[in-house]
């Protein structure tokens, strides 16, 4: 857009979507599934690497304190953890030139790819993997893609600003956009996804074990 005033209008979120945010979200989703497939293939072919990554993943998950001693997930801590993660992914975009949201995207995709390879190595049905992912994933994955895309979009805008492009959004407009997305889209999606993951996903996954 060439009209700077359009970036500051109440319809900023819709305009950002048309101004390149949609493409960043789309690219994020494509990259996510590509990295997922890559790590699935690598971990399927290299058992020692798979074991190390699985151990690292489970250690990280335990440190998040989102489950009790029996491994049951608690919805509220999970929700707060996911909100914090998506907020930071978008805030990483405030650092121009360095695409830190892309690193977060790769880490999340890697974890799912490694887990898929672990399921196969353990002889667990692929349906069990999908059952453990899809019920909450249909909400959580779009939220992640949106946060990745927003972070990348903001980084691109601020990078253009640093290069003296007057049509790019300034810092305060980027922060306003991130706040809009967090409050109006991500919070509702993540709240529902957290309760689904805590109470519905385990019941669905149990049907395939």
Which structural domain range is residue 145 located in?
10-206
pLDDT at 155 over 60: yes
pLDDT at site 63:
86
Cβ pair 153, 180 in contact under 8 A: no
What's the token pair of residue 21? 């945010």
pLDDT at site 103:
95
Separation between Cα atoms, residue 95 and residue 159, nearest integer Å = 8
pTM of the model: 0.91
96 lies in a domain? yes
pLDDT at 5 over 50: no
Tens of pLDDT, residue by residue over 33-80, are 999 999 999 999 999 999 999 999 988 888 888 887 777 899 999 999
3 lies in a domain? no
What residues form DSSP beta bridges with 67? 73
122 lies in a domain? yes
Cβ pair 194, 75 in contact under 8 A: yes
Mean pLDDT of 155-164: 96
Averaged confidence pLDDT in the chain = 92
5 lies in a domain? no
Q: Is residue 8 very low, low, confident or very high in pLDDT (cuts 50, 70, 90)?
A: very low
Q: Is residue 25 very low, low, confident or very high in pLDDT (cuts 50, 70, 90)?
A: very high
What percent helix, strand, coil does the chain show, rounded to 5? Answer: 80, 0, 20
Tell me the residue ranges of DSSP E strands in 25-113. Answer: none
pLDDT at 156 over 80: yes
pLDDT at 23 over 90: yes
Nearby residues of 164 by Cβ (< 8 Å), 6 or more positions away: none
Separation between Cα atoms, residue 126 and residue 76, nearest integer Å = 29
2 lies in a domain? no
80 lies in a domain? yes
* Cβ atoms within 10 Å, residue 36: 20
135 lies in a domain? yes
175 lies in a domain? yes
Number of domains comprising the chain: 1
Cβ pair 83, 190 in contact under 8 A: yes
């Amino acid at each position: 857009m060439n009209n700077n005033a359009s970036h500051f209008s109440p319809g900023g979120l819709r305009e950002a979507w048309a101004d390149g945010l949609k493409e960043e979200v789309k690219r994020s989703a494509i990259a996510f599934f590509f990295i997922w497939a890559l790590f699935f293939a690598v971990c399927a072919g290299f058992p020692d690497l798979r074991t190390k990554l699985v151990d690292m993943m489970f250690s990280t998950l335990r440190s998040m304190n989102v489950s009790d001693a029996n491994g049951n997930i608690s919805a509220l801590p999970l929700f707060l953890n996911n909100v914090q993660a998506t907020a930071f992914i978008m805030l990483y975009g405030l650092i121009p030139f360095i695409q830190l949201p892309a690193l977060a995207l790769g880490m999340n995709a890697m974890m799912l790819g490694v887990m898929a390879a672990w399921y196969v190595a353990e002889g667990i049905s692929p349906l069990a993997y999908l059952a453990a992912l899809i019920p909450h994933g249909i909400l959580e994955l779009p939220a992640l893609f949106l946060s990745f895309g927003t972070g990348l979009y903001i980084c691109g805008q601020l990078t253009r600003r640093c290069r003296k492009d007057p049509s790019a959004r300034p810092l305060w407009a980027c922060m306003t956009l991130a706040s809009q997305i967090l409050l109006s889209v991500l919070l509702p999606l993540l709240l529902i996804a957290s309760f689904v993951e805590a109470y519905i996903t385990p019941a669905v996954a149990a049907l395939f074990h």
